[in-house]
């Protein structure tokens, strides 16, 4: 059993606090390890600091292959929709960000058929315009993702450690429960014996006092 990925945890938490998380934005960092031949989501999220202010944003993605010094423009997303700007990525990038809105806070893209040549540094830019009552504010935010491409998924130490901890705590809890059960069973059976003995004593006393009463009665009758 794999430990819960952070996204699942977040959506579980959101499920618990639906009314608070509704429309909320969280700046989750992108994964940084892609598997060759598979798809990969390059995450890039920039939340508006004041969600009530009207905003709109256009997005640019740049890429610098490992070992090279210059970034190339690979993708843009704006009013006119998505455009792939570089042949190397032709037909290989899908939009995975905010949909049905110009107010983009999630600018993630999806890379199809990842190759080893896709490893390197990705950079996304938000060109955001915030519209206040009587002025507009222009903000440029950028984020960086260092992508490595591997032949097979490797697991982070953190996930292995958390899985081991999970088993340790499950086994520990089971043992504790077992010990508790044995302890309680012993206590209950001891108490049961005690109760039986007490009941027997009480009965004996009752009989004894009854016979004493009888005796008294007999004595009174005499």
Q: In 3-state terms, what secondary structure has residue 141?
A: strand
91 lies in the binding site for ligand NAG (CB under 6 A) = yes
* β pairing state of 54-65 and 120-131: antiparallel
Residues 6 or more apart whose Cβ sits within 8 Å of residue 42:
30, 61, 96, 108, 109, 110, 111, 122, 124, 145, 147
Question: Which member of 10, 64, 110, 129 binds ligand NAG (CB under 6 A)?
Answer: 110
- Contacting range for ligand NAG; rule: CB under 6 A; set: 48-56, 88-96, 132-140, 181-189: 88-96
- Distance between CA 188 and CA 190 in Å, rounded? 5
70 lies in the binding site for ligand NAG (CB under 6 A) = no
Supply the minimum distance, in Å, between the C-beta of residue 52 and ligand NAG: 26
174 lies in the binding site for ligand NAG (CB under 6 A) = no
Question: Which member of 83, 101, 115, 154 binds ligand NAG (CB under 6 A)?
Answer: 115
Question: Which member of 7, 53, 112, 164 binds ligand NAG (CB under 6 A)?
Answer: 112
| Residue 92 or 128 having the CB closest to ligand NAG | 92
- Distance between CA 130 and CA 56 in Å, rounded? 7
């Amino acid at each position: 059993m794999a430990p819960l990925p952070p996204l699942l945890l977040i959506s579980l938490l959101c499920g618990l606090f639906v009314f608070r998380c509704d429309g909320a934005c969280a700046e989750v960092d992108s994964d940084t390890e892609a598997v060759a031949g598979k798809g990969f989501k390059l995450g890039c999220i920039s939340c508006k600091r004041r969600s009530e202010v009207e905003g709109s944003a256009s997005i640019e993605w740049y890429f610098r292959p490992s070992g090279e010094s210059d970034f190339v423009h690979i993708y843009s997303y704006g009013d006119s929709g998505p455009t792939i700007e570089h042949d190397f990525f032709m037909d290989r990038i899908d939009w995975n960000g905010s949909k049905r809105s110009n107010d983009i806070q999630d600018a993630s893209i999806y890379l199809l058929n990842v190759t080893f040549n896709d490893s390197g540094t990705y950079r996304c830019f938000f060109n955001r315009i915030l519209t206040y009552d009587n002025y507009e504010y222009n903000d440029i935010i950028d984020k960086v993702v260092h992508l490595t491409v591997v032949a097979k998924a490797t697991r982070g130490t953190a996930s292995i450690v958390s899985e081991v901890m999970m088993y340790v705590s499950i086994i520990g809890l089971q043992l504790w429960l077992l010990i508790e059960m044995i302890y309680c069973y012993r206590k209950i059976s001891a108490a049961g014996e005690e109760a039986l003995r007490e009941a027997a004593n009480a009965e004996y006393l009752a009989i004894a006092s009854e016979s004493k009463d009888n005796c008294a009665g007999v004595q009174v009758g005499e």
